[in-house]
Structure formats: structure tokens, C-alpha cells
């Protein structure tokens, strides 16, 4: 399935397979989940939310190290 991922100025389409949650996706992208808030199709979701084909995920970094 294909999902659109927006992070800051970057927007890309990602081809992923199988059943994935937001948490899986963040791990795939190497983004620590405790530093971000994720919106799926404009609504804030929790880590265990399922990702579906055609979803748009916006990753908002809210915590900056140091």
C-alpha cells in the first residue's frame, strides 16, 4: 500500500507492505515516537492506529533534543 508522509517541508510517498501501525511506520522512518505528534488525514492519532492505503500522515516534531 502507498501512504503519503509529510514531515516539516518534506513530503513523500511511501510504499509499505502488510498491516502497519503508526508506531511501525515511525520505527521504519527512524523517528523516535516520544518526540512527535502524528496526524492521520488531519486528525491526531495514537501510536497503535492502523495505517491504510491512501492515508496521509503528518509527523510533527514537538520535542527537540538538548
Partner 1 sequence: MNVCSKCGNPHVIIKKKSSGQILCRECFIETTESKVLHDIRKYKLVEKGDKVLLGLSGGKDSVMLLEILNSLKERHVIDLVAVTIDEGISGYREDGVRIAKLNTEKLGVKHRIVSFKDYFGFTLDDVMKKTSDQPHSRHPCTYCGVFRRWFLNRVAKEEGATKIATGHNLNDETESILMNYLEGNIQNLTRIGPKSESRNERFTVKIKPLREIPEKEIGLYVVAKGLEVHFAGCPYAGESFRAEIGSFINDLTAKHPTIMYSTLRGFDKMKPVLKKEFAEESHTGICENCGEPASGRLCKACSFVERWDEDKV
Binding of residue 50 to partner 1 (CB under 8 A): no
Binding of residue 28 to partner 1 (CB under 8 A): no
Binding of residue 30 to partner 1 (CB under 8 A): no
Which H/E stretch holds residue 7? strand 2-7
Q: Which three cell numbers stand for residue 50?
A: 492502523
For the bound state, the minimum distance from the C-beta of residue 2 to partner 1, rounded and expressed in Å, comes to 24
Site of interaction with partner 1 (CB under 8 A): 34-35, 37, 39, 43-48, 60-66
Amino acid at each position: 500500500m502507498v501512504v503519503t508522509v509529510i514531515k516539516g517541508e518534506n513530503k513523500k510517498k511511501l510504499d509499505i507492505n502488510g498491516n502497519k501501525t503508526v508506531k511501525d511506520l515511525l520505527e521504519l522512518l527512524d523517528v523516535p515516537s516520544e518526540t512527535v505528534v502524528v496526524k492521520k488525514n488531519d486528525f491526531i492519532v495514537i501510536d497503535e492506529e492502523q495505517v491504510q492505503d491512501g492515508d496521509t500522515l503528518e509527523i510533527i516534531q514537538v520535542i527537540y533534543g538538548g
